[in-house]
């Protein structure tokens, strides 16, 4: 049987591995010179904007909300189809998450639904670039400007993506990116927050590490309650190696996405993602299974793929149907598009080291399973 094909696999080159060993030997393994170098390299990548390296994309979202002054009594509008962190960080700052349904074609938040969800308490919009496909930035910022709202871009999945030729993170308000192990650029665990103004940096740095301000004489002060969100030099060195290759990684992902579109049997009834190669970084290739036509559910489909040594993920179950959010009053039927997609979505293998033969193998397995189980 062929080797197991996971849905993600990070690509770490030998130069980066050797660089990590050098950091370990240096004796300075927490935040230090490598973090500073990584922030400088990221800033250059994002057109000179200030960048704060953090220990997760989740931390980047929380710091961003705090920079915006979001807190108790405020509402933040976000998408129900995302990783739970997207809504959890709103709760973490004491605010209330308000969900707006997704657009069935893009699977991103529907900006018309956002406008309908606005209240006098709305303080910010937190859109998600699902699978690396950017939300319409022109409509997003026009809406935010019209209603005088802050925007915290959950670009956790869209490192290297663009909107009409402009790199995500190089413009706009605040942009949070994840460097988790399954992301296009990984530091193992990590993330960054891209600031719109250098004047935001002093407060952002305090929020990153317990609110501490250090003085030349060795004393310190704390005037704001910060978190423990700093990135290590070990992680930053991985990031520096990855950043050199991000354009290559994303170009390869685009090629593999095209291979999927070329090889996929359209007669199976699966819904494929939008065929957008100019803007997306193709963080994930996700299909919607034709469950109404099948004798099996998604769980058994995933199991049958595993039996063929192919990994499949689920990204994501709708957030509002988790117990925490049901207890806040959300119910099934509130966001029908997100719920339909959440029931049927399946993430297929996609990472730079894959080949077209790997894609053909995945597509052949899907065809076999669906043909075997069609009612």
- Residues assigned a catalytic role: 183
* Residues linked to residue 166 through DSSP beta bridges, in sequence order: 163
**Cα–Cα distance for residue pair 362/305, rounded to 1 Å:** 8
Tokens of 118: 């606005």
Residue holding tokens 């999945």?
157
- Closest by CA to 357, choosing from 310, 312, 318, 322, is 310
Measure the CA–CA gap between 314 and 369, rounded to whole angstroms: 18
Q: Rounded CA gap, 357 and 375, in Å?
A: 29
Tokens of 96: 């209330």
Encoded tokens for 373: 């189980």
From the list 133, 126, 38, 134, the residue with the least C-alpha distance to 89 is 126
- Separation of alpha carbons 226 and 23, rounded Å: 27
Task: Round to whole Å and give the CA distance between 57 and 331.
Answer: 28
Q: Which residues contact 36 (CB under 8 A, 6 or more apart)?
A: none
């Amino acid at each position: 049987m062929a080797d197991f094909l996971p849905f993600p696999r990070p690509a770490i080159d030998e130069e980066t591995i050797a660089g990590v060993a050098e950091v370990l030997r240096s004796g300075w393994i927490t935040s230090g010179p490598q973090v500073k170098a990584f922030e400088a390299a990221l800033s250059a990548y994002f057109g000179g904007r200030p960048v704060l390296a953090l220990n997760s994309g989740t931390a980047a979202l929380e710091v961003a909300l705090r920079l915006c002054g979001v807190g108790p009594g405020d509402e933040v509008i976000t998408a129900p189809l995302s990783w739970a962190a997207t809504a959890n960080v709103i709760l973490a700052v004491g605010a209330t998450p308000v969900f707006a349904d997704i657009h069935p074609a893009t699977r991103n938040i529907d900006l018309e639904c956002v406008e309908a969800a606005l209240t006098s308490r709305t303080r910010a919009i937190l859109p998600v670039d699902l699978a690396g496909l950017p939300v319409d930035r022109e409509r997003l910022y026009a809406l935010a400007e019209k209603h005088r709202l802050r925007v915290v871009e959950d670009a956790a999945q869209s490192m290297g993506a663009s909107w009409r030729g402009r790199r995500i993170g190089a413009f706009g308000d605040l942009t949070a990116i994840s460097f988790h192990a399954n992301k296009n650029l990984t530091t193992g665990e990590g993330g960054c927050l891209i600031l719109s103004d250098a004047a935001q940096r002093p407060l952002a740095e305090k929020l990153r590490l317990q609110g501490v301000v250090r003085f030349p004489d060795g004393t310190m002060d704390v005037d704001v309650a910060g978190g423990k969100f700093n990135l290590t030099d070990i992680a930053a060195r991985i990031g520096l190696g990855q950043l050199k290759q991000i354009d290559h990684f994303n170009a390869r992902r685009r090629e593999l996405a095209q291979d999927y579109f070329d090889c996929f049997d359209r007669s199976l009834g699966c819904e494929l993602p939008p065929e957008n190669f100019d803007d997306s970084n193709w963080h994930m290739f996700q299909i919607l299974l034709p469950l109404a036509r099948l004798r099996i559910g998604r769980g058994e489909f995933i199991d049958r793929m595993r039996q063929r040594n192919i990994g499949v993920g689920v990204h994501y179950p709708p957030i509002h149907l988790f117990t925490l959010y049901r207890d806040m009053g959300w119910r099934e039927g509130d966001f029908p598009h997100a719920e339909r997609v959440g029931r049927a979505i399946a993430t297929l293998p996609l990472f730079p080291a894959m080949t077209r033969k790997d894609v053909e193998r995945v597509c052949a397995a899907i065809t076999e399973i669906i043909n075997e189980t069609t009612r």
